[in-house]
Amino acid sequence: MAVNNHHQPPLFTLILTMLASLIALTTQTDALNCASSQKFTNNNLYTHCTDLHTLNSTLHYTYTNKTSSLQVAFIAPPVHPQGWIAWAINPTHARMAGSQAFIAFHDENNATMIVKTYNISSYSGVTEGDIAFDVKDMKSEYSDGMMRIYVTVKLPETMKEVNHVWQVGGEVVKGVPVRHAFTAENLKATAKLNFLSADNDGSPVVAPSPSASDAYRNNVMCVFLVVVILGIMMS
């Protein structure tokens, strides 16, 4: 019986190795891109994480089906250090008006961070008050130019998808956040969270933000095409 001593050409083997390595790096980048730079003083671990598509914001969250509770960490840079950030749920529309909001900023002495609840009925102004959901574990903090809001929200059992909205502002006057800008970035700051989606395993349905992982994917595709072409040529 003839023995086949044919070996794969070194170049072909090298390309296959590169392909495997790039795929591994892409997977790692996707896993770390959102979470690697975030550190939480509350020591919580969150099931999902997404770099939101506008205002340089990040959302970490865990939805517990048994208790219909949503545990959130929202991180964003305010326009100025004495500004504010906001994260909100709108039960009916994908906009800030009508939302149940959490707004974080420094107190009037600029000594500590505070977070308050607001039922935002219109764009004319905000007034602190109770919101439509029960909340607990609400706190905020500021470090390294980033503000963070931590909160757990009790949702209705039937609410498996919500509109969420986020904003940043540059000024707080006498404890009242001043209206944010209305740039394209601000106006796009809304998306959906689908807790039971089979397609994304409950991950937020948002436009993806550009990241290093996109470059890795492009590299993987290029190497894959080279492998296919070489395979055809060598067959």
pLDDT of residue 119: 94
The answer on 173 and 89 residing in a single domain is yes
The answer on 45 and 160 residing in a single domain is yes
- The answer as to whether 6 is a domain residue is no
The answer on 138 and 230 residing in a single domain is no
- The answer as to whether 171 is a domain residue is yes
The answer on 95 and 24 residing in a single domain is no
The answer on 110 and 24 residing in a single domain is no
- The answer as to whether 7 is a domain residue is no
Q: Which residues of the chain form beta strands (DSSP E)?
A: 48-51, 58-64, 69-76, 84-90, 100-106, 113-119, 134-143, 146-154, 161-169, 172-173, 176-177, 190-194, 204-205
Distance (Å, rounded) from C-alpha 71 to C-alpha 76?
17
The answer on 223 and 194 residing in a single domain is no
- The answer as to whether 3 is a domain residue is no
The answer on 125 and 24 residing in a single domain is no
- The answer as to whether 159 is a domain residue is yes
Query: Which tokens belong to 142?
Result: 């500021």
- HEC-encoded secondary structure of 77-92: CCCCCCCEEEEEEECC
The answer on 163 and 51 residing in a single domain is yes
Q: What is the CATH number of the domain that holds 170?
A: 2.60.40.1210
- The answer as to whether 93 is a domain residue is yes
Domain that includes residue 196, residue range = 41-205
The answer on 230 and 172 residing in a single domain is no
- The answer as to whether 216 is a domain residue is yes
- The answer as to whether 4 is a domain residue is no
The answer on 188 and 110 residing in a single domain is yes
pLDDT of residue 160: 94
Element (H, E) at 25: helix 10-35
pLDDT digits (tens, 9 = 90+) for 117-137: 999 987 777 889 999 999 999
The answer on 69 and 181 residing in a single domain is yes
pLDDT of residue 19: 53
pLDDT of residue 198: 37
pLDDT of residue 127: 85
The answer on 98 and 189 residing in a single domain is yes
> What is the number of structural domains in the chain?
2
pLDDT of residue 209: 37
pLDDT along the chain (235 residues), means of 10: 53 57 44 59 86 96 96 97 97 92 94 95 83 97 96 96 96 93 94 74 36 45 55 60
pLDDT of residue 158: 95
